[in-house]
């Protein structure tokens, strides 16, 4: 009788098979490099497939905007309504005496006894006036106020509908995902064809870009209302509408307001970029300060944009407050309104609408001098930094990927990574998306942008993850970091680049890289700290019980259990860096960012669509791969 062969342990079999994916990767790279090494560049059979018909469509839109029924009956009325809202609100704010504007804005939180919020509103508006930014601040307040109001009018009902109708949410979710993934500036060019240049285009783009948070959080707020509360309302005879308006919506107000706050903060980024399509206000002040290399003035204007966001946020929160016990008496409100009315009549008669010119202080000019000093004093550091990051890393990597590596390899490697982290569907999506970017003729520009993005992401992760781990372990450290992170998160992205350009004394890749890092590390630090803090205490105590040192507990328990959250932080870092692509284009960073600006300023519809498509595909690839990696790093359910 033949003896049975000894069984091969399962662990040995798994180890013997683990090399197969890596062999496929290395073998595929070698084969593709041999087969395609002589190819000059990625073939672009679709180079004019999109651009030519879109350019013709853009020409048609320009020629028929005033006469075609589509505009006369639909887009022109919408444009007139939005423009009327912006211009009317701006004219009203400019007509009112400046102190009446401050008084009315402060009265909204004051009537519910939120005196601290009233002081904040008064303070930030006074700031805008004291530094000679009153008129552009009112323009920006009118633009953002109209856009936020439109976002509320559209977003809250849609969020409620999503909460009540799951099928509707299934239809709108992909659309909201796309709206949140697409960089904001990609909306501008197609909207020019329908709404022209100026504030209306900026307002509509702001609504599209900033709508998803208020929709999603309204849906979340309605769904979080306890079922017992809803059932109790129905038992007392309330109709479905009464239950919604008197029970569910009031209880969901805090969550809805959180979404509205996110909408306002996202709208900040549009304000500056909107100057590319003819919008005025504080954005033009920031852009002008960049062109003039005046960081002090740029930071002053950037802080005024933050002031506008603070005013809108606190006014909205005060309007919908539910605490009736804290309301100011009607008599007191009437007295204040009467005093403001007297001030209004006196101010209009005396011509006091504009903020007094003698108060146009130049307190931020010291920053100009400080930046000049830093530029001259830090040249020993900035020059080698530029040489290392640009000369030794960026240029060689870009040249290698563009000219030395065979073009199919990047598509193959993207597909392999997608297959490794999620499966064949993500692999197919990644490979096809990379190939499509090359097929439309943007291969070299996309590689240029990819190298800049990955360099900024790597630096951001190297800074953000250690700081996040430190903050997650030390509450005092997190408390110290808080104000700094708040400032970095609220200041408009273009403002970062003004002092960076002035200190470096030149344009190019490095200023955009540094500005991207400053902008992207905030979510990286905060989400990493959240992951470290959220590790179950039982796991930590078990580690300590078995005699692990604090360092062993950190790297053996905390970090592995927080790995999925840390990967989610990396995902957000990537999205923030991609949002800075156009900012890098402002200062000569090249790549897709510069092409975006060229398409916007010259109304090149075809190029704008192709650049937007390349950026969206790049964002979706990186987003889905990092999300899948985060899912794979989720700890077992037993933890």
The 3-class SS string of 74-115 reads HHHHHHHHHHHHHHHHHHHHHHCCHHHHHHHHHHHHHCCCCH
Cβ-contact 313, 264 below 8 angstroms: yes
Neighbours of 534 (CB within 10 A): 12
Separation of alpha carbons 129 and 505, rounded Å: 31
**Topology at the third CATH level for domain 75-360:** MetI-like fold (1.10.3720)
Question: Of 167, 110, 105, 43, which Cα lies nearest the Cα of 440?
Answer: 43
DSSP, collapsed to helix, strand or coil, labels residue 555 as: helix
pLDDT tens digit sequence for 22-31: 888 889 889 8
Could you tell me how many residues make up the chain? Answer: 639
pLDDT attached to residue 1: 46
Q: Which residues contact residue 126 at a Cβ distance below 8 angstroms, ignoring those fewer than 6 apart?
A: 102
Instruction: Return the structure tokens found at 380.
Output: 């020993």
pLDDT attached to residue 571: 83
**Topology at the third CATH level for domain 378-639:** MetI-like fold (1.10.3720)
Separation of alpha carbons 141 and 151, rounded Å: 15
pLDDT attached to residue 556: 83
Question: Of 153, 150, 158, which Cα lies nearest the Cα of 82?
Answer: 150
Cβ-contact 567, 626 below 8 angstroms: yes
Cβ-contact 604, 501 below 8 angstroms: no
Instruction: Return the structure tokens found at 222.
Output: 């309605």
Number of separate helices (H) and strands (E) present in the chain: 32, 0
SS3 annotation, 339-406: HHHHHHHHHHHHCCCCCCHHHCCCCCHHHHHHHHHHHHHCHHHHHHHHHHHHHHHHHHHHHHHHHHCC
Which residue in the block uniquely carries the two structure tokens 């303070």?
123
Separation of alpha carbons 502 and 298, rounded Å: 11
pLDDT attached to residue 429: 93
Dihedral angle sign, alpha carbons of residues 471, 476, 478, 481: negative
Which residue ranges of the chain lie beneath pLDDT 70? 1-17, 38-40, 180-181, 183-185, 320-327, 357-363, 634-639
pLDDT attached to residue 57: 84
User: In this structure, what DSSP letter does residue 41 have?
Assistant: S
Cβ-contact 528, 464 below 8 angstroms: yes
Cβ-contact 163, 218 below 8 angstroms: yes
- Helical ranges in 182-239 per DSSP H: 188-195, 199-223, 227-235
pLDDT tens digit sequence for 561-619: 888 888 888 888 888 888 788 778 777 778 888 888 888 778 788 888 888 889 888 88
Separation of alpha carbons 396 and 401, rounded Å: 9
pLDDT attached to residue 635: 62
**75-360 and 378-639 share one CATH topology?**
yes
Cβ-contact 617, 436 below 8 angstroms: yes
pLDDT attached to residue 449: 92
Cβ-contact 596, 585 below 8 angstroms: yes
Q: Break the chain into its structural domains and give their ranges.
A: 75-360, 378-639
pLDDT attached to residue 638: 46
pLDDT attached to residue 466: 92
pLDDT attached to residue 639: 45
Q: Which residues contact residue 290 at a Cβ distance below 8 angstroms, ignoring those fewer than 6 apart?
A: 298, 494, 497, 498, 501, 586, 587
Separation of alpha carbons 441 and 438, rounded Å: 5
- Helical ranges in 441-590 per DSSP H: 443-473, 475-490, 493-504, 509-533, 537-545, 550-553, 559-561, 563-579, 581-586
Separation of alpha carbons 395 and 399, rounded Å: 6
CA distances from 258 to 141, 209, 253, 439 (A): 20, 16, 9, 42
Separation of alpha carbons 162 and 169, rounded Å: 5
Measured in whole angstroms, the distance separating CA 532 from the mean position of its chain's CA atoms is 24
Q: Is 369 exposed, middle or buried (0-12, 13-18, 19+ CB in 10 A)?
A: exposed
Measured in whole angstroms, the distance separating CA 162 from the mean position of its chain's CA atoms is 23
């Amino acid at each position: 009788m033949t003896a049975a062969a000894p069984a091969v342990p399962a662990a040995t079999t798994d180890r013997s098979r683990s090399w197969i994916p890596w062999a496929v990767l290395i073998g595929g790279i070698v084969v593709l490099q041999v087969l395609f090494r002589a190819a000059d560049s990625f073939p672009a059979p679709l180079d004019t497939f999109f651009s030519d018909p879109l350019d013709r469509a853009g020409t048609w839109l320009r020629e028929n905007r005033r006469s075609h029924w589509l505009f006369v009956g639909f887009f022109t009325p919408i444009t007139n309504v939005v423009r009327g809202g912006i211009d009317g609100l701006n004219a009203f704010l400019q007509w009112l005496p400046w102190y009446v504007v401050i008084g009315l804005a402060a009265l909204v939180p004051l009537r519910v006894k939120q005196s601290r919020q009233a002081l904040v509103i008064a303070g930030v508006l006074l700031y805008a006036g004291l530094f000679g930014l009153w008129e552009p601040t009112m323009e920006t307040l009118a633009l953002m106020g109209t856009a936020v109001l439109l976002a509320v009018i559209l977003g809250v009902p849609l969020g409620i509908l999503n909460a009540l109708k799951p099928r509707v949410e299934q239809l709108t979710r992909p659309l909201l995902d796309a709206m949140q993934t697409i960089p904001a500036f990609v909306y501008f060019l197609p909207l020019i064809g329908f709404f022209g240049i100026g504030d209306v285009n900026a307002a509509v783009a702001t609504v599209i870009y900033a709508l998803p948070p208020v929709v999603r959080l309204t849906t979340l707020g309605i769904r979080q209302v306890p079922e017992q509360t809803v059932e109790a309302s129905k038992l007392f005879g309330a109709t479905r509408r009464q239950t919604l308006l008197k029970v569910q919506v009031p209880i969901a107000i805090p969550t809805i307001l959180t979404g509205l706050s996110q909408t306002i903060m996202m709208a900040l980024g549009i304000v500056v970029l909107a100057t590319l399509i003819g919008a005025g206000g504080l954005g033009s002040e920031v852009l002008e300060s960049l062109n003039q290399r005046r960081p002090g003035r740029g930071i002053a204007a950037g802080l005024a944009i933050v002031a506008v966001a603070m005013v809108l946020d606190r006014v909205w929160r005060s309007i919908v407050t539910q605490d009736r016990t804290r309301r100011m008496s009607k008599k007191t409100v009437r007295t204040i309104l009467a005093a403001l009315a007297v001030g209004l009549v006196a101010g209009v008669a005396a011509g006091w609408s504009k903020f007094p010119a003698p108060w146009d202080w130049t307190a931020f000019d010291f920053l100009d001098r400080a930046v000049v000093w830093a530029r001259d004093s830090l040249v020993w550091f900035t020059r080698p930094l530029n040489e290392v990051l640009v000369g030794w890393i960026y240029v060689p990597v870009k040249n290698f990927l563009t000219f030395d590596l065979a073009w199919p390899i990047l598509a193959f490697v993207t597909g392999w990574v997608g297959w490794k982290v999620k499966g064949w569907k993500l692999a197919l999506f990644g490979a096809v998306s990379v190939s499509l970017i090359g097929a439309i003729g943007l291969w070299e520009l996309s590689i240029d942008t990819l190298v800049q993005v990955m360099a900024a992401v790597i630096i951001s992760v190297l800074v953000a993850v250690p700081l996040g781990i430190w903050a997650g372990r030390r509450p005092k450290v997190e408390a110290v970091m808080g104000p700094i992170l708040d400032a970095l998160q609220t200041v408009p992205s273009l403002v970062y680049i003004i002092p960076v350009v002035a200190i470096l004394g030149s344009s190019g890749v490095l200023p955009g890289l540094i500005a991207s890092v400053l902008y992207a590390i905030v979510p990286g630090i905060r989400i990493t700290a959240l992951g470290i803090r959220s590790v179950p205490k039982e796991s930590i105590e078990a580690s300590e019980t078995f005699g692990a040192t604090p360092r062993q507990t950190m790297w053996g328990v905390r970090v592995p259990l927080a790995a999925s959250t840390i990967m989610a932080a990396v995902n957000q870092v990537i999205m923030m860096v991609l949002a800075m692509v156009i900012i890098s284009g402002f200062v000569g960073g090249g790549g897709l960012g510069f092409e975006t600006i060229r398409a916007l300023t010259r109304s090149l519809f075809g190029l704008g669509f192709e650049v937007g498509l390349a950026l969206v595909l790049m964002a979706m690839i990186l987003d889905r791969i990092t999300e899948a990696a985060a899912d794979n790093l989720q700890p077992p359910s037993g933890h």
